[in-house]
Amino acid sequence: MIALTVAEITAAVGGTLHGGDPSAVVDGPVEYDSRKVAPGGLFVAFAGAKVDAHDFAAKAVADGAVAVLGSRAVDGVPTIVVEDPLTAVGLLARAVLARLSDLTVVAITGSSGKTSTKDLIAALLRTAGPTVATTGSENNELGTPYTVLKAGADTRFLVLEMGSRGIGHLRYLCDIAPPDVSVVVNVGVAHIAEFGSVEGTAVAKGELVEVLRPSGLAVLNADDPRVAAMAARTTATVVLAGESALSDFRATDVTDLGRGRFGFTLHVPGAAAVPVRLDAAGRHQIGNALLAAAVASHAGVDPATIAATLGDLEGLSTRRMDVFDRADDVTVIDDSYNANPASMAAALRALATVAGGRRMIAVLGFMAELGEYERTGHEEVGRLAAELGVDRLVAVGEQAAPILHGATVVASWGGDPVLVTDQEAAVALLRDELRPRDVVLVKGSRYRTWGIADALRAEAASK
């Protein structure tokens, strides 16, 4: 974070300082995990249902925090007291952004693929200047300001993944960090229990472009009609990216490079087309890369640099289309971070591409937050797995059982379905059944298949 005095922070958040020196300078990180506190930082104390972080305030100061931001004073600890620390963190982030006039804020949302797109955008923008980006998918009311507060005086680009659980959520996040560039990846059924319908999802996601100033830029997925239609909801400049002929940033001549990776010809307005060998698994990553290319081009990155960077990616978020080989000649696709029907479909298609005729095993967990679409969504995933010819389909947990039903209604499918009770049972089954040249996909909503992927990775190193 940029250097601010305790008095300046207190004023920014509308708080009251109890103890401490108002002229003391905070020039270290803002942290809400007391274990991560560093000298010169600010510790934010939340009073949770099970743990009250105010109990760790004294230790945080002993470890180097200049002050604590919390909802009550702590004896012997310089504390900025506010009614709601979460709201205060947002106010502080907004105040910091107001002092960073040379910073370009890029915001990304979508029903699926937003984290991968965020990672690609950040990788490209780093070639143009110092870049701070959301870690993993810290994309909510805490994660957004937490990321903003990592920006410093030399930061040129701030790349923020923004999640939404309903109408008004993106507007709130954009009030904390008003975007200069807004990117919408897609509109699907993820979190439909909260949005009510796909149409409701589109309304909520479109808030990201509605908040743009006329000088801003909206980068929209040309291949998703609901996203492309958002062009009418903004006064900013609009560019379309996709494989559609209507796209400003377009991919043609798509080529399968093996192991789930693809090459294509990138068309950029006003420049010669360049070949790209995309170093990210899954055909769906082409669309994500095109959105990223549009943002990078706007920032002045030339097509050749875009192509070179997309072909040599580093630092992408974990548990997302991570393809690795084990010593026993088994290939694993770890896409276990999260799941919804669209990302499940993309991962299954990547499995089929990577397998290239080898035996396919899909280990799939429950997809959360689908509401009334829950059973249908799981059955559709199972149906696609069968249509793609998955040989062994493993559903993890009773809630994921409809995946198997969806597969078994495909009359032509000759695969073998099985329901296991939990992740430990799935790992035991795989240990018994895996054989050389198998290709395994592991995917499910948050944490529901992480243990399986971790076990396969640990065994990869030991075999």
The reply to whether 316 falls in a domain is: no
CA angle at 157 for the pair 290 and 37, rounded to the nearest 5°: 120
pLDDT at 371: 87
Instruction: Encode pLDDT of 340-381 as tens digits.
Output: 999 999 999 999 999 999 999 999 999 998 988 899 999 999
Model confidence pLDDT, tens digit, residues 220-237: 999 999 999 999 999 999
Q: What is the CATH number of the domain that holds 57?
A: 3.40.1390.10
Residue 92: inside a domain: no
Q: How many domains does the chain have?
A: 3
Are residues 116 and 235 part of one domain? yes
The answer on 77 and 223 residing in a single domain is no
Does residue 315 lie in a domain region? no
The answer on pLDDT for 448 being more than 70 is yes
CATH assignment of the domain containing 193: 3.40.1190.10
Run of H or E including 440: strand 439-443
pLDDT at residue 190 in the model: 60
Domain with residue 382: its CATH number is 3.90.190.20
Question: 332 in helix, strand or coil?
Answer: strand
Residue that terminates a domain, selected from 310, 344, 366: 310
Please tell me the predicted confidence (pLDDT) of residue 339.
93
Q: Calculate the alpha carbon distances from 274 to 121, 124, 223 in Å.
A: 18, 15, 21
- Rounded to an integer, what distance in angstroms lies between the CA atom of residue 334 and that of residue 456? 9
In this structure, the answer to whether residues 352 and 304 fall within a common structural domain is no
- Give the pTM: 0.90
For residue 461, what pLDDT is reported?
61
> What proportion of the chain, given as a percentage, has pLDDT over 70?
97
DSSP state letter for 400: G
In this structure, are 120 and 74 located in the same domain?
no
β-strand partners of 178? none
| Tens-place pLDDT, residues 49-85 | 899 999 999 999 999 999 999 999 999 999 999 999 9
| CA pair distance 132, 17, nearest whole angstrom | 30
More reliable by pLDDT, 199 or 183: 183
Say if residue 62 is in the same domain as residue 122. no
Domain match, 293 and 349 both: no
DSSP 25-87: EE-S-EESSGGG--TT-EEE--B-SS-BGGGGHHHHHHTT-SEEEESS-BTTB-EEE-S-HHH
Residue 463 has pLDDT above 60, yes or no: no
Q: What is the mean pLDDT of residues 436-444?
A: 98
- Residue 44's pLDDT is what? 98
Res. 137: pLDDT tops 90: no
Same domain, 399 and 426: yes
Residues 113, 262 within the same domain: yes
If you ran DSSP here, which 8-state letter would residue 101 be given?
T
Q: 20 — phi, psi (to 5°)?
A: 85, 175
Asked if residue 94 has pLDDT above 60, the reply is yes
Instruction: Write the CA distances from 267 to 262, 322, 329, integer angstroms.
Output: 16, 27, 38
Q: Is residue 261 part of a domain?
A: yes
Best CA proximity match to 105, nearest among 210, 167, 175:
175
Distance between CA atoms of 102 and 155, rounded to whole angstroms? 8
d(CA 350, CA 440): 11
Residue 191 has pLDDT above 60, yes or no: no
Residue 196: the pLDDT is: 64
Tokens of 78: 């310089």
How confident is the model over 242-266, as pLDDT tens digits? Answer: 999 999 999 999 999 999 999 999 9
In the predicted structure, residue 455 carries a pLDDT above the cut 70: yes
Listing from the earlier edge strand, what are the strands of the sheet with 16-18? 16-18, 79-81, 67-70, 42-44, 30-31
Residue 333 lies in a domain: yes
CA atoms within 13 A of residue 145's CA, in its CB half-sphere: 23
What is the average pLDDT value for the chain, to the nearest integer?
Answer: 95
Confidence of residue 22 (pLDDT cuts 50, 70, 90): very high
Say if residue 147 is in the same domain as residue 287.
Answer: yes
Question: pLDDT tens digit string along 109-118?
Answer: 998 899 999 9
Q: Judge if 284 and 249 occupy the same domain.
A: yes
In a domain, 91, yes or no: no
pLDDT in tens, 389-406: 999 999 999 999 999 999
> Do 282 and 398 sit in the same domain of this protein?
no
As a whole number of angstroms, the distance between CA 138 and CA 141 comes to: 9
Q: What is the model's pLDDT at position 318?
A: 87
pLDDT band at 286 (very low <50, low <70, confident <90, very high): very high
Do 254 and 107 sit in the same domain of this protein?
yes
- Domain extent at residue 44: 4-86
Q: Is the pLDDT of residue 316 over 90?
A: no
> Which of 310, 339, 365 is the C-terminal boundary of a domain?
310
Please name the amino acid found at residue 322. D
The CA-based angle 352-353-354, given to 5 degrees, is 95
- Among 53, 86, 119, the domain-final residue is 86
In a domain, 275, yes or no: yes
H helices present in 335-422, as ranges: 341-355, 374-387, 402-408
- Work out the burial of residue 98: count CB atoms within 10 Å of its CB; fewer than 13 is exposed, 13-18 middle, 19 or more buried: exposed
Q: Is residue 389 part of a domain?
A: yes
**CA-CA-CA-CA torsion sign (171, 173, 178, 179):** negative
